[in-house]
Amino acid sequence: MRSQRALRVLCRDTLKVLDLDLPLDVTQLCDRHGARRGRPIRLIAHPLPAGMPNGVWLAADDADYFFYQANTSPLHQQQIIIHEFGHLIAGHQMLGAVSASALTAPADDDSTAALQRTCYADDREWEAEMLASMILSWAAEAADTVGTTPRNDDLRGIARLLGGHKGWL
Ligand SMILES: [Zn+2]
């Protein structure tokens, strides 16, 4: 298991090159990270069944798919997506050979099996949760630094901000 310090470094190295806007937009986060590494991240809202995780990361041939719970609030959905993003940047890949269509047919036995295999060991859950909370707290701090001037182009873009940012990142 990684140390908190190692996770901070991972988080910082991932975020600082993405030139994200504030406040944090998880769709932009996933789009930019996907574009940068040349493998898209596709976000798909899906009514995941009770007893299953609220988010599932599926590594398909063409892209990484984050299936997130359709039946919850937008805020919770953001948290789910950032949690899956944490698994992704930490390299916790589990599902490789499953097709995306398997997950979109919840009555199917294969999809249930696929979802059940996405229950990670506790240390991986801890790493994903730490990364998610680091991303969120960094975004909150960075947004505070920018203040309420989102229309000021000079202040938009996290990369520019990082030069003078005194927070943990
Ligand atoms: Zn997880």
All residues with CB under 5 Å from ion ligand 1: 125, 128
Q: What are the tens digits of pLDDT across the range 8-61?
A: 999 999 999 999 998 899 999 999 999 999 999 999 999 988 888 899 998 888
- In which element (H, E) is residue 65 found? strand 64-69
Q: What are the tens digits of pLDDT across the range 64-117?
A: 999 999 999 999 999 999 999 999 999 987 655 455 555 555 545 555 555 555
Distances (CA, A) of 137 to 100, 104, 116, 167: 32, 33, 30, 10
Distance, in Å, from the CA atom of 103 to the CA atom of 91, rounded to the nearest integer, reads 21
CB 46 within 8 A of CB 68: yes
CA of 1 to the centre of ligand 1 (A): 15
CA of 93 to the centre of ligand 1 (A): 11
**Residue 156 CB neighbours (<10 A):** 16
pTM of the model: 0.76
CA of 125 to the centre of ligand 1 (A): 5
CA of 167 to the centre of ligand 1 (A): 26
The whole-number pLDDT of residue 59 equals 87
Residue with tokens 């039946």: 71
Average pLDDT over residues 110-127: 69
